[in-house]
Chain A
Amino acid sequence: MRQTLPLTALITCLLLSLGVAKADQAILIGGGYNINGSQGQIELNVKWVQEVLKQANLPVTTFFTDGDDPAPDVHYQHRESEDTGANALNELAAQLEPVARLFGDQGLNQQRYRNHSVEDVRGSTKADLLTQSLKDLISSAPDDPSLIIYNGHGKQSKSTVDKVTLELWDDTQLTANELHSILGKSNAPTRFVFTQCYSGGFHRLAYANPESGLELSSNTRCGFTAESAYRLAEGCSASINTDDYRDYTTYFFAALDGYDRQGEILAEDADPDQDGTVSMREAHFYTLENAHSTDLSRSTSEDFLNRWEPWYLKWTSAKQGLPNNEYAKLYRTLADKHNISLSNNTAKIIRSKLENYQKTSEELQSRRHELRNDLRDVQHQLVQSATKQWPALAGPYTAQFQSMAASGVLINVATWLREQSAYETLVDLQNEDDNIDGALLDAERNATQMQKLFYFRKLANLKSQLYQHGDASHISSYEKLVSCESAPLIFDEKKVLTTSTDVDK
C-alpha cells in the first residue's frame, strides 16, 4: 500500500504535466413538444449551436424531437418572398388565401411540415427516452464536465420553481427537479444554457435541495437562462428569417463564437478582459448588453444573489449611487444606449419611460381588441353570404365539404370572395392586426430594456450587500458560482478552482 501511493501520485503528476485534461461533453437537446409546437426556428437554433460547438472542438451529443423517425416533426411558415421554386402546394395556398383568411386560418395556410434536418441526432427527446439517455451518458463518464443546452419550450410551475418543465416530444415533460436527480449521478462540474420560457427554475439544478435553500450541490453546477421562472421568453416565433432572431441563444453563442448567425464578425467585443477567450459569463454579459429582446436573462450567480437577499433588505429602497462592479457598468452602458442621463433622477426617468411603453402596450391591446371585433363582424357577414351559395362551407370535415373541395369549388369560392368589397376590408383588418402584433412586440422589447436597467441596479446593490451583510459561506458559494460561470466553453477545471478568489467585489 505504501509503495502504490507514490506510484499513483507519480502517474497523476505525469498525466498532468502532459496536459491530459478530463474530456468535456456537450449535450444539446432541442425541438418542440409536437409538430405544431416544433418551430423551424428551434431547428435552426439547434443546427447553428451544434456548428458552434463543433468548431470549438467540443464533442456534441444531440437529441431532437422524434430522433431519426422520418415523419414530419418541424413546421415552418412559407413566405412568398422566400419562394425559391413554386410548387403545387404553395400555388394552391395562394389561390385559397381568401378562404383561409375568411375562416381565420391564414397562418395555417402558410404553414408547412417536414422532417428535421439536424445532423448526428442520437435520439428522441421523449421524456422517458431522454431521461434514460442522459442517465447512460452521465454514468458512462461521471467525471467528465458537461454542458447541457436546451432549445425548445418550457412551462411554468404553479407550485415551487423546481417544477418548471422542459416540454419534450410527444407532449411529455421533464421537470427541473427530475433533471436535478439525473445530474446527481455526475461527479464533475455541469453547466447549462436553457433558453425556453420560464427557464429560470432550472437554476435550482445548482443547489443541493432542488426545492429550496441556498446550499450548493456538491459538484459545481451553474448556468444561464433566457428568463426567470415567471416570464415567457422571446424566440418561439415560427419565422425562419434569421434576421428576426433576437433570442438568448442567438446572442450568447454569437459571443462565444465571435461571429453572428449570418457569419459576420461581431461589431462589439465580447471579451472585455482581453484574455483571448470569451468565457460563458462574458457571453452572458454581452447578451444582456446587446439583446434588444423581451428576455430578462439571468445566470445562476444572479439567481443566488436574488435568493440570498435577506428579509430586512428586500423591502428597503436602494441608495442613489451605485457600487463599482460589473452590474453597475452594464447599467451605465445600457442607460447610455437608451440616451438616459445618469443623475439622482435617473430611476424616475427610467420608470416614466417604462410606464410609457406599458401604456403603449395597453393602447395597442385595446386597439387590437376593437379591431378583432370589427374583424369578426366582417368575417360573419362574408361567411353568411358565402354559405348561402355554398352551404357545405359551414361544415368542414364533412362528406359534403370533402365532395365540394374535391370538385375544386373552393377555388370558385376564393374567386368570388376576391370580388367582394368586404373582402378588401377583411384583408386590411388582418394586415393591421399583424402590424399591431409587431408594434406590441416592439413595445414589450423596449419595456424590457427599462426593466433590465432596474435589474442591473438591483444586482449591483445586491452584490455589494452580500459582502456587507452575508456570512462567509454565502460569499464563498457566490464566488464558486461566479468562477464556474467564468470558465470558457471548454471547461478548465484547474482554472475554475484557482480563480475562485478573483471575483470582482
Chain B
Amino acid sequence: MLRSNIIASLLLWILITAAAWPAFVAANFAISWFFGEGSIIDAWIQEPKRNTIDDFITGYTSSLIIAALIGLVAVVDFQLLARHKLTGYIAGILIPVSCIAIAFIYFPEPGHLLPGFALSGFALWILYKLVDIGYRLRRVS
C-alpha cells in the first residue's frame, strides 16, 4: 500500500514536472491561435523551425525548477486531498491555483497572461486525474 503510494507520488511528480512546460506552450499557442495574437505564430512561419525548437528547449530547461515545484504541489495535493472521499472531489485544484500564482509572482501585469496560466494548470490537472484514477483502479483491483 505504502509502496504503491510512493510509486504513484513519484510518477505524478515526474509527469507534472515533465509536462508543465509543454502544457504551458500548448495552452498559450492555442490562445494565440484563437485570438489571432502571439508572435510565436508568425515566428513559426517566418523563421526556421530549428529556432522555434531551440527556443522551446531553452524554455524547457529554464523552467524546470518551476515545473518541479508545480510537480511537488501536485504530490502534496495528491496526499492531502485525493485520498479522502470528501476532498477527493476537489483534488488537483492546487495545480491551476499554483500556476495562476506563478503569473502573479513573475509578472508585474499578469492580467492578460492569466488565461494561459490557468489553461496550463487545467491541462496538468487532467494528467493528475489520470494518475489519480489509475491509482484508485489499482487499489480497487
Q: What is A's interface to B at a CB cutoff of 8 Å?
A: 228, 230-231, 296, 311-312, 314-320, 347-352, 451, 454-455, 457-458, 468
Contacts of B25 in A (CB 8 A): 315
Contacts of A314 in B (CB 8 A): 39-40, 55, 59
A-B contact pairs, 21 of them (CB 8 A): A228-B46, A230-B47, A311-B55, A311-B63, A312-B59, A315-B24, A315-B29, A315-B40, A316-B28, A317-B31, A317-B35, A317-B37, A318-B38, A319-B109, A348-B36, A350-B36, A351-B36, A454-B39, A455-B42, A457-B37, A468-B108
Identify B112's interface contact among A312, A320, A349, A351, CB under 8 A: A320
Which residues in window 42-61 of B have CB below 8 A to A?
42, 46-48, 55, 58-59
Chain A nearest CB, measured from B66 CB (Å): 9
Contacts of A458 in B (CB 8 A): 39, 42
Chain A nearest CB, measured from B106 CB (Å): 7
Report the bound CA distance from A352 to B63 in whole Å. Answer: 33
The answer to the question of B62 belonging to the interface, with a C-beta cut-off of 8 Å to chain A, is: yes
Given known contacts A319-B112, A347-B37, A468-B109, A311 and B58 CB-to-CB distance under 8 angstroms: yes
Q: What is B's interface to A at a CB cutoff of 8 Å?
A: 24-25, 28-29, 31-32, 35-42, 46-48, 55, 58-59, 62-63, 106, 108-109, 111-113, 116
A315-B25, A317-B38 known; 20 new pairs, CB 8 Å cut-off, are A228-B46, A296-B46, A311-B55, A311-B62, A312-B59, A312-B63, A314-B59, A315-B28, A316-B113, A317-B28, A317-B32, A317-B116, A319-B109, A319-B111, A320-B37, A349-B36, A352-B36, A451-B42, A454-B42, A458-B42
Contacts of A350 in B (CB 8 A): 36
Contacts of B42 in A (CB 8 A): 451, 454-455, 458
Q: Which of B28, B35, B37, B113 neighbours the largest number of chain A CB atoms within 10 Å of its CB?
A: B37
Contacts of A228 in B (CB 8 A): 46-47
Q: Are B112 and A318 in contact (CB under 8 A)?
A: yes
Chain B nearest CB, measured from A224 CB (Å): 18
Output the nearest chain A residue to B47 by Cβ-Cβ distance: A230
Chain B nearest CB, measured from A476 CB (Å): 20
Report the bound CA distance from A231 to B59 in whole Å. Answer: 25
Q: Are A347 and B58 in contact (CB under 8 A)?
A: no
Contacts of A455 in B (CB 8 A): 42
Given known contacts A316-B116, A318-B112, A347 and B35 CB-to-CB distance under 8 angstroms: yes
